[in-house]
Amino acid sequence: MSRSEPGFPQLPLDTTLPRDWKTLTSGPEMPLVCLTDFQAYAQEHLSKSTWDFIEGGSDECFTRDDNIAAFKRIRLRPRYLRDVREVDTRTTVQGEEVTAPICIAPTGFHGLVWPDGEMSTARAAQAAGICYIISTYASCSLEDIVATAPRGLKWFQLYATSDRQLNKQLVQRAEALGFKALVITVDTPKMGNRRCDFRNQLDLQRNLLLKDLRSPKERHTTPYFQMSPIDSSFCWNDITWLQSQTRLRIILKGILTKEDAELAVKHNVHGIIVSNHGGRQLDDVPASIDALTEVVAAVKGKMEVYLDGGIRTGNDVLKALALGAKCVFLGRPILWGLAYKGEHGVEEVLNLIKNEFHTSMSLTGCRSVAEINQDLVQFSRL
Strand partners, 97: 92
Tell me, what's the pLDDT at 216? 64
DSSP secondary structure letter of residue 26: H
- Judge contact between 63 and 57, C-beta under 8 A: yes
- Identify which has the larger pLDDT, 228 or 39: 39
- Judge contact between 346 and 91, C-beta under 8 A: no
> CA-CA distances (angstroms) from residue 10 to 32, 53, 193, 308, 314?
33, 10, 13, 27, 36
Of the candidate ranges 23-32, 68-77, 86-95, the one whose mean pLDDT is the lowest: 23-32
- Residue 23, annotated ligand binder? no
pLDDT band at 54 (very low <50, low <70, confident <90, very high): very high
- Residue 212, annotated ligand binder? no
Q: What is the mean pLDDT of residues 24-51?
A: 88
Tell me, what's the pLDDT at 221? 43
pLDDT band at 30 (very low <50, low <70, confident <90, very high): confident
- State the Cα–Cα distance between residues 74 and 36, nearest whole angstrom: 20
Tell me, what's the pLDDT at 29? 73
pLDDT tens-place string over residues 120-154: 999 999 999 999 999 999 999 999 999 999 999 99
pLDDT tens-place string over residues 151-178: 999 999 999 999 999 999 999 999 999 9
pLDDT tens-place string over residues 309-337: 999 999 999 999 999 999 999 999 999 99
- State the Cα–Cα distance between residues 227 and 212, nearest whole angstrom: 8
- Residue 106, annotated ligand binder? yes
- State the Cα–Cα distance between residues 291 and 323, nearest whole angstrom: 10
Say if strands 96-98 and 91-93 run parallel, antiparallel, or are unpaired: antiparallel
- Residue 221, annotated ligand binder? no
Q: What angle (nearest 5°) sits at the alpha carbon of residue 209, between those of residues 206 and 215? A: 120
Q: In this model, does residue 228 exceed pLDDT 60?
A: yes
Question: Of all residues in the chain, what percent carry a pLDDT higher than 90?
Answer: 82
Tell me, what's the pLDDT at 173? 97
CA nearest neighbour of 63 among 193, 230, 186, 197: 193
> CA-CA distances (angstroms) from residue 32 to 41, 42, 348, 351?
9, 12, 9, 12
Q: What is the mean pLDDT of residues 109-125?
A: 97
Pick the catalytic residue from 45, 220, 267, 277.
277
Say if strands 327-330 and 304-308 run parallel, antiparallel, or are unpaired: parallel
pLDDT band at 206 (very low <50, low <70, confident <90, very high): low
> CA-CA distances (angstroms) from residue 167 to 90, 163, 164, 201?
34, 6, 5, 28
Q: In this model, does residue 119 exceed pLDDT 90?
A: yes
- Identify which has the larger pLDDT, 292 or 215: 292
- Residue 145, annotated ligand binder? no
Query: Is 277 labeled as catalytic in the residue annotation?
Result: yes
Dihedral over Cα of 220, 223, 228, 231: its sign: negative
- Judge contact between 306 and 11, C-beta under 8 A: no
User: pTM for this structure?
Assistant: 0.90
Q: What is the mean pLDDT of residues 201-230?
A: 56
pLDDT band at 11 (very low <50, low <70, confident <90, very high): very low
- State the Cα–Cα distance between residues 327 and 70, nearest whole angstrom: 18
3-state secondary structure of 180: coil
Cβ within 8 Å of residue 114, ≥6 positions away: 24, 120, 338, 339, 342
Q: In this model, does residue 5 exceed pLDDT 50?
A: no
- Residue 232, annotated ligand binder? no
Dihedral over Cα of 206, 208, 213, 219: its sign: positive
- Identify which has the larger pLDDT, 139 or 20: 139
Tell me, what's the pLDDT at 7? 43
Q: In this model, does residue 15 exceed pLDDT 50?
A: no
Tell me, what's the pLDDT at 217? 64
DSSP state string for 271-297: EEEE--GGGTSSTTSPPHHHHHHHHHH
Average pLDDT value for the chain: 90
DSSP state string for 51-95: HHHHH--STT-HHHHHHHHHHTTEEE----S---SS-B--EEETT
- Residue 312, annotated ligand binder? yes
CA nearest neighbour of 336 among 147, 107, 58: 107
